[in-house]
Amino acid sequence: MTTPTVWQDVEFGSYGADLPVWVELAAEADGPVVELGAGAGRVALHLAGHGYEVVAVERDLDLIRELDDVAAQRGVSLSVVAGDLASPAELRLPVRPALAIGPLHLIQIVEAPARPGLLARLAELMAPGGILALTLVDESTLLSSGAASTQILPDMRERDGWVYSSEPLWVQVGDDALTVRRLRESVDPKGQMERDIHDEVLHRVDPEALEREAADAGFRPAGRRQIRSGENEADSTVVLLEAPA
């Protein structure tokens, strides 16, 4: 049956191009790591498995329960807290992180008018001099990644006799947002299929604009890292921001 983690696992579970970057940044940080919008815990569980102190922030209570269960099953220490990035004033953390990360273009899910408030709240919550690392789509590779000319096989998973498939259909580049459309299919153990169209909207912001917004919140630019995603996948840019001392 479909659970809150299924589609995250189907569409992102096998993606690992960014994991070495997060491990490298965690190794450089002198203190706990927070993953913002942890979802199914792809990154948080990976870092916790490497022995880092990790706090996973997630708004979906069902995902939180599942993430707690998976961490227990794997025998890793992971703190999971409820938090909605769309309501930054209510965001609370049990630690002051030396590193906070937003993988998979999390910051682009936040609408432009809401970003300054979120950045300002993160500046308050982070340890002095801590690093905030936010991932943006590298738009220069978006349409040259092969998606426009090559048939991309759907992402698939099998769980408890159910088969799930998510096929990217197209990416629409608008003035203010990128819309990624997927065809989601689930087949139950009796062979009954359900289909659904899912649109993911990513609000466009380039690294320079994000750095300017972060500077208004008190952050200082601290460099960038590139993530090479491979064939048929757009690359990403990780914008590093240093919290106020």
Three-state SS string across the chain, please?
Answer: CCCCCHHHHHHHCCCCCCHHHHHHHHHHCCCCEEEECCCCCHHHHHHHHCCCCEEEEECCHHHHHHHHHHHHHHCCCCEEEECCCCCHHHCCCCCCCCEEEECCCHHHHCCHHHHHHHHHHHHHHCCCCCEEEEEEECHHHCCCCCCCCCCCCCEEEEECCEEEEEEEEEEEECCCEEEEEEEEEEECCCCCEEEEEEEEEEECCCHHHHHHHHHHCCCEEEEEEEECCCCCCCCEEEEEEECCC
**Long-range contacts at 165-168 (CB < 8 A, ≥ 24 apart):** 165/10, 166/7, 166/10, 166/11, 166/198
- The amino acid present at 229, given as its one-letter code, is S
Give the CATH fold of the 141-202 domain: N-terminal domain of TfIIb (2.20.25)
pLDDT at 149 over 70: no
pLDDT at 151 over 60: no
Contact in structure between 23 and 47 (CB atoms under 8 Å): yes
**CATH architecture, domain defined by 6-140+205-242:** 3-Layer(aba) Sandwich (3.40)
Chain centroid, CA 188 distance in Å: 28
| Residue range 194-224, pLDDT digits in tens | 999 999 999 999 999 999 999 999 999 999 9
Please report, to the nearest 10 degrees, the dihedral formed by the alpha carbons of residues 209, 218, 118, 240 taken in order: 60
pLDDT at 51 over 70: yes
| pLDDT, average across residues 45-50 | 96
Provide the mean pLDDT of the chain. 91
**Domain boundaries, given as residue ranges, for the chain:** 6-140+205-242, 141-202
> How confident is residue 2, by pLDDT bands cut at 50, 70 and 90?
low
Chain centroid, CA 228 distance in Å: 16
| pLDDT, average across residues 112-141 | 96
